[in-house]
């Protein structure tokens, strides 16, 4: 056993420019908690059993906590990976179904759509219509006020990007809209959108086209009748 507070021999040891003091303690039986172990290499190991036991307990607790944390992190990563794989498969199955568009057009049209979006942002920027402009100052016109309004600044960039995708990626765009209507939007909202489209198409385009056709037909009929009457009058005069 070693007594840290008993007899000791001090010895100064030179270490380069520094001088340190090494204290060699003599063995004593007054402190039984300090244990000295001789290693086969000739070195001696000093340890306090109570401290060693406490450190061992802390080490075991830390290892158990580490194992539990590692298992939880591994499970979380596996779960997120499965969710990501499911979402990728869902997108491939429901939206990205056209092989040619996916392989040849998706990347360049995505860049083109991004450019269209930022073009809309530039067109609706108030500084381009006289609001605090650095180069061209003046009172903005009505069209400039319309283009720089909040609805235009929100709708126009999205409209240009959506039109670009719909023009060059028709299959992907249609599948995207169908998927949103089926799985994302509430059913009442989807029904309202479909009714609005149907009403706009039926009462707007179809009826307007029918009205224009009828008006043109009547005008043509009246014009032909007027020409015939004029010719008949001229013939009667002759």
User: Does 39 have pLDDT greater than 90?
Assistant: no
Can you give the pTM of this predicted structure? 0.54
**Quick one: pLDDT at residue 19?**
40
Q: What are the residues whose beta carbons fall under 8 Å from the beta carbon of 136, sequence distance 6 or more?
A: 130
What is the arithmetic mean of pLDDT over 206-217?
67
**Where residue 182 falls among pLDDT bands split at 50, 70, 90?**
confident
SS (H, E, C) 81-97: HHHHHHHHHHHHHHCCC
Residue 26 has pLDDT above 50, yes or no: no
State yes or no: pLDDT of 84 exceeds 80. yes
How many whole angstroms separate alpha carbon 238 and alpha carbon 229?
14
List, for residues 51-60, the tens digit of each pLDDT value. Answer: 888 888 999 9
- Among 44-48, 148-152, 204-208, the minimum mean pLDDT is found in 204-208
């Amino acid at each position: 056993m070693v007594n840290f507070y008993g007899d000791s021999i001090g010895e100064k040891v030179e270490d380069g420019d520094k001088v340190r003091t090494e204290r060699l303690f003599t063995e004593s039986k007054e402190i039984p908690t300090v244990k000295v172990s001789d290693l086969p290499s000739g070195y001696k190991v000093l340890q306090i059993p109570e401290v060693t036991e406490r450190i061992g307990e802390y080490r075991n607790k830390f290892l158990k906590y580490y194992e539990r944390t590692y298992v939880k992190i591994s499970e979380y990563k596996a779960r997120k990976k499965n969710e990501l794989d499911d979402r990728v498969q869902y997108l491939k199955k429901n939206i990205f179904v056209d092989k040619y568009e996916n392989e040849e057009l998706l990347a360049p049209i995505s860049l083109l759509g991004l450019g269209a979006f930022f073009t809309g942002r530039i067109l609706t920027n108030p500084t381009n219509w006289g609001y605090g402009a650095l180069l061209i100052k003046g009172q903005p016109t009505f069209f400039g006020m319309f283009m720089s309004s909040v609805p235009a600044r929100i709708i126009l960039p999205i409209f240009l990007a959506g039109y670009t995708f719909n023009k060059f990626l028709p299959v992907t765009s249609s599948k995207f809209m169908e998927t949103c209507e089926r799985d994302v939007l509430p059913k009442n909202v989807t029904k309202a959108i479909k009714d609005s489209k149907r009403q706009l198409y039926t009462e707007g385009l179809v009826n307007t086209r029918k009205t224009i056709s009828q008006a043109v037909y009547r005008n043509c009929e009246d014009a032909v009748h007027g020409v015939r009457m004029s010719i008949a009058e001229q013939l009667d005069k002759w």
